[in-house]
Amino acid sequence: MSLPHAILTALLEKPSSGLELTRRFDRSIGYFWSATHQQIYRELGKLEAEGLIRALPAEQPVRGQKKSYEVLPAGRAELARWTAAAQDPKPHRDTLLLRLRAAAMVGTAGLEADLRRHLDLHRRQLAEYEKIEQRDFPPGKDSAQDRLQHLVLRAGIDLETFWTQWLEHALAEFAELPGRDAK
């Protein structure tokens, strides 16, 4: 149920067309909640049918013109309700961790190279987040909105830091495994 809420959030930040939302998901929200172009358009239709958003009137009616959407009071109320509701954390599912567990039974062939690849990917993502932090959150930018958005970015930085450190540790352990390819 979170995609509609991600879209409501994005539209409250700035009324947008479906294409603009897709681009914004690729650049920001998509770091922690991804959605395809088709999912976004499908959800826009549902939100509009439920009376939570509306298409903004076009300045001039033109066939094929993209529609921009804005959040209606009912949409704001739904987002506020959802934000205030308690929600338990979801169990973490990660195929890399499952593959490590399976390697204990069938051997580690190919796994070390993938651990290194994952480490490289997490290092690059961490560097990207740190760049965003420097660019978008300079000292003194401390409105409530800025602080909450920075908190979300900090979660990404902290998660990437965790994965980078964990993968470095895993590779060190991996290097010391006796007969790691013997099974």
Tens digit of pLDDT per residue, the chain (183 long)? 589 999 999 999 999 999 999 988 888 887 888 888 899 999 999 999 999 999 998 766 666 667 899 999 999 999 999 999 999 988 888 999 999 999 989 989 999 999 999 999 999 999 999 999 999 999 988 899 999 999 999 999 999 999 999 999 999 998 998 865 544
Q: Pairing relation of β-strands 53-55 and 16-17? A: unpaired
Q: Hey, how many other C-beta atoms are within 10 angstroms of the C-beta on 111? A: 18
| SS3 call for 54 | strand
Whole-structure pTM value: 0.81
- Cα 124 versus chain centre, distance: 16
User: How far is residue 14's CA from residue 16's CA, in Å, rounded to a whole number?
Assistant: 6
